[in-house]
Chains A and B, each alone.
Chain A
Amino acid sequence: EVQLVESGGGLIQPGGSLRLSCAASGFTVSSTYMSWVRQAPGKGLEWVSVIYSGGSTYYADSVKGRFTISRDNSKNTLYLQMNSLRVEDTAVYYCARDLCSGGTCYYNWGQGTLVTVSS
């Protein structure tokens, strides 16, 4: 059974850094496309970043240069390093596994981890 479990969220001051983790089971993270998607309180979904099976990475303009997506194949875990955090980064962050082999649709989702950026 495929399972994704996020962790690492919490309360952080503006300008601070946080690293989110997404532990995967039931499949191999390095063999597929994985994304981070966030949802601000009461708002819609916002795509954040993707890492391809081949290692290429892409980011939304809103996080480019501040966030870094990576994976640890030995731990079968996806990460999101978030630096220079802003109040507007406050959201539930979901990791998701691609179904379409192109990073274009996401079938498996974690439960989400809440990041709150506030002074």
Chain B
Amino acid sequence: QSALTQPASLSGSPGQSITISCTGTSSDVGGYNYVSWYQQHPDKAPKLMIYDVTNRPSGVPDRFSGSKSGNTASLTISGLQAEDEADYYCSSYTSSSTLVFGGGTKLTVL
């Protein structure tokens, strides 16, 4: 149950687009279309932003989009806004019927 691999930090300017990667194996990310993305602001509970690789829950702006290729999933945020500054985590279902999270990416909006 090794954590999925995410970049530790990323930054972007308002209006720009950024992409956060999430790399796993064929036993998790590559084997199932059950990748989710969460946003977490300091001292807050995580918020689901993307599920089943590409789907957005109601209320999540369409600036947030997800994709997957092989063992790597990606979260793209377009038209970056100040309130997007947060920590982002990916997660995936695994072949052991468990869930595994990525190490998290700290997004800074310059």
Task: Indicate if B104 sits at the interface (CB-CB under 8 A).
Answer: yes
Q: Are A61 and B34 neighbours in the complex by a CB distance under 8 Å? A: no
Q: Are A100 and B100 neighbours in the complex by a CB distance under 8 Å? A: no
Q: Are B45 and A109 neighbours in the complex by a CB distance under 8 Å? A: yes
Interface residues of A in 19-67 (CB under 8 A from B): 35, 37, 44-47, 50, 58-62
Total A-B pairs, Cβ < 8 A: 73
* Residues on B with beta carbons closer than 8 Å to the beta carbon of A103: 93, 97, 99
Interface residues of B in 55-100 (CB under 8 A from A): 57, 87, 89, 91, 93, 96-100
* Residues on B with beta carbons closer than 8 Å to the beta carbon of A111: 45
Q: Nearest CB to that of B92 among chain A residues? A: A104
Interface residues of A in 88-105 (CB under 8 A from B): 94, 99-100, 102-105
Count A interface residues, CB 8 Å.
25
Count B interface residues, CB 8 Å.
27
Return the CB mask of B18-61 against A: 1 if under 8 Å, else 0. 00000000000000101010101000011110011000010000
Q: Are A61 and B97 neighbours in the complex by a CB distance under 8 Å? A: no
Q: Are A44 and B57 neighbours in the complex by a CB distance under 8 Å? A: no
Q: Are A104 and B51 neighbours in the complex by a CB distance under 8 Å? A: yes
CA distance A100 to B52 in the complex (A): 8
Q: Contacts A58-B98, A100-B34 given: A44-B89 contact, CB under 8 Å?
A: yes
A44, A59, A94: the one within 8 Å of B3 (CB): A44
Return the CB mask of A50-88 against B: 1 if under 8 Å, else 0. 100000001111100000000000000000000000000
Which B residues are closer than 8 A to A by beta carbons?
Answer: 1, 3, 32, 34, 36, 38, 40, 45-48, 51-52, 57, 87, 89, 91, 93, 96-104
Which A residues are closer than 8 A to B by beta carbons?
Answer: 35, 37, 44-47, 50, 58-62, 94, 99-100, 102-107, 109-112
